[in-house]
Amino acid sequence: SYHADLERLANGGVLRKLDRQRVVALARYLAQIHAKKRRDADLYKRRLRELIGHGECIMGLTDSYPTR
């Protein structure tokens, strides 16, 4: 698995050709899914909240506060 590969490398393992291929594939995938920007403030806020904390916890509480 990718996690095991990262752990192997973190512990001083040798970088293999497959490791490089996986990095390139992951980078291409991430570039593709982030290439199209959307003008949706609510979606942006939701995704940002999911990035830094689950919506049911502290970040969910911020939704109850007034906009200003």
pTM: 0.55
20 and 42 housed in the same domain:
no
Query: Model confidence over 2-60: pLDDT tens digits?
Result: 889 989 999 999 999 999 999 999 999 989 988 888 888 888 888 887 777 765 666 66
5 and 23 housed in the same domain:
yes
Helix (H, G, I), strand (E, B) or coil at 10: helix
For residue 12, the enclosing domain spans: 1-36
21 and 45 housed in the same domain:
no
Structural domains of the chain, count:
2
1 and 31 housed in the same domain:
yes
1 and 25 housed in the same domain:
yes
Contact 16, 26 (CB under 8 A): no
What pLDDT, on a 0 to 100 scale, did the predictor assign at position 7?
92
